[in-house]
């Protein structure tokens, strides 16, 4: 099964890609460093071609509240549209446990964005 990991070169993503590969999946690490940018849409169509699953472990390049919100709104919108166009059947978003205890952190808003 082809599984694309958005943020697949980062701390969590790289471990996930390795683990998926160990289990026999075609795991693709997708990140700006290898030409896949969810903010601009660059490389998304190519990366998602033939994928059955997308796992999003991406992270905002900024921790400033408005910038984080902007990143996840645009990134998620672009990613979901590209997934629909590619016929991807499953979207998994990895979130951080305990963010409700840090309401000032913009990353905690990610969870509510995924439900839209």
- pLDDT tens figures, 71-82: 999 999 999 999
Evaluate whether 60 touches 68 at the Cβ level (below 8 Å).
yes
Of 2, 7, 27, which Cα lies nearest the Cα of 17?
A: 27
Backbone angles phi, psi at 27, to 5 degrees: -100, 125
- pLDDT tens figures, 28-55: 999 999 999 999 999 999 999 999 999 9
What pTM does this model have?
0.83
**pLDDT confidence of 65, banded at 50, 70, 90?**
confident
Evaluate whether 8 touches 35 at the Cβ level (below 8 Å).
no
d(CA 17, CA 39): 21
């Amino acid at each position: 099964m082809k599984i694309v990991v958005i943020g697949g070169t980062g701390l969590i993503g790289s471990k996930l890609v390795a683990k998926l590969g160990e289990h026999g999946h075609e795991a693709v690490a997708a990140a700006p460093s290898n030409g896949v940018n969810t903010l601009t849409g660059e490389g998304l169509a190519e990366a998602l071609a033939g994928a059955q699953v997308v796992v999003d472990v991406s992270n905002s390049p900024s921790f400033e509240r408005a910038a984080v919100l902007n990143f996840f709104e645009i990134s998620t919108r672009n990613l979901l549209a590209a997934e629909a166009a590619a016929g991807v059947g499953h979207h998994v978003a990895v979130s951080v446990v305990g963010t409700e205890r840090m309401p000032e952190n913009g990353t905690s808003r990610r969870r509510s964005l995924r439900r839209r």
